Amino acid sequence: MKRSGIADLPLHGGRVPPWLSERMTKLGTAITETIVYDYGTSAFLSRLSDPFWFQALGAVMGMDWHSSGITTTVMGALKRGLGPKADELGIYVCGGRGRFSRQTPHELRLLSDRYGFDGDALVRSSRLTAKVDNNAIADGFQIYLHSFVLTKSGEWAVVQQGLNDANGMARRYHWHSASVKDFVAEPHTGIVGDNQGVIMNLVDAEAKPAQSALLGITHECPDKILNEARYLRMPSHHEVREKNVDLKRLGAVLAVAYERDLHDFAELLLVENLGPRTLQSLALVAEVVHGAPTRFSDPARF
């Protein structure tokens, strides 16, 4: 059974000393080589997408097992160690932390030109995994690390991490292309983390009506929706105030979406400047106008 999921970790500061970084690079490379030679690249991606196995890998490589830094150090070590052997092993590690994460599309397109992959499809997958975890699941964690691991067969895995400024915790998200049947319908099949209860979760199995309502709104004249938003008031259990809805940003996103005539919820998630707050505002409008619930259980669980 292939797993992917989420793990919450305490945020730790500081830097890994050079001697440990070098050792982690050697160990991570040797472990990867052994798995690939004995079981194949697909098996390695399957293990990489399992948050429990990933945690164990980091511990074996020498990192604190419960630190948020385990994600950065493990993926950084794998990128350094596997880079020179990428063609031999058939595994390519793209992206990384901060500005390196933003280089992922460029790296994927270079590999696609070299090996004949569908570059547009790979970049779309990379962007969607980030958009789902950063925007569609309103768990309070903002993505700052995105690593995309690709094999010569076109199979991929994503390991990315988000930071919650409010509680100083980090949450790690795992994906495996072999396990993703639908990017917007419970794409995580084995989720680990502290459950926060009911949150806005637009990729829940029961969120299809909300997705349809959101998509329907983008097909209506933006001015009409903005007029509705100005008089928003939810049922008695939840009042929406003016400060909760940025009408200027919402209007700009609606105008772009309206012009593009979107066909599915995934396309909506990929619209430029559609961040978590703007999507939340749009979801509130959808709930008021269409009565489609947008709040479901946090997908993280022990």
228 phi and psi angles, rounded to 5 deg: -65, -40
Structure tokens at 139: 């768990």
Read off the pLDDT band of 242 (50, 70, 90).
Answer: low
User: Is 23 a member of any domain?
Assistant: yes
What total number of domains does the chain contain? Answer: 2
User: Is 102 a member of any domain?
Assistant: yes
User: Is 199 a member of any domain?
Assistant: no
- Let me know how many helices (H) and strands (E) the chain has, helices first: 12, 7
Same domain, 276 and 224: yes
Instruction: Give the mean pLDDT of 165-182.
Output: 89
Same domain, 40 and 187: yes
Using a pLDDT cut of 70, give the percent of the chain over it.
85
Same domain, 184 and 135: yes
Enumerate residues 6+ apart whose C-beta is below 8 A from 121.
none
Whether the per-residue pLDDT at 243 is higher than 60: the answer is: no
CA-to-CA distance for 9 and 170, rounded, in angstroms?
A: 5
pLDDT at 4: 53
Q: Virtual CA dihedral for 63, 64, 68, 70, nearest 10 degrees?
A: 20
pTM, to two decimals:
0.87
Domain housing 115: 6-192
Instruction: Give the mean pLDDT of 194-207.
Output: 89
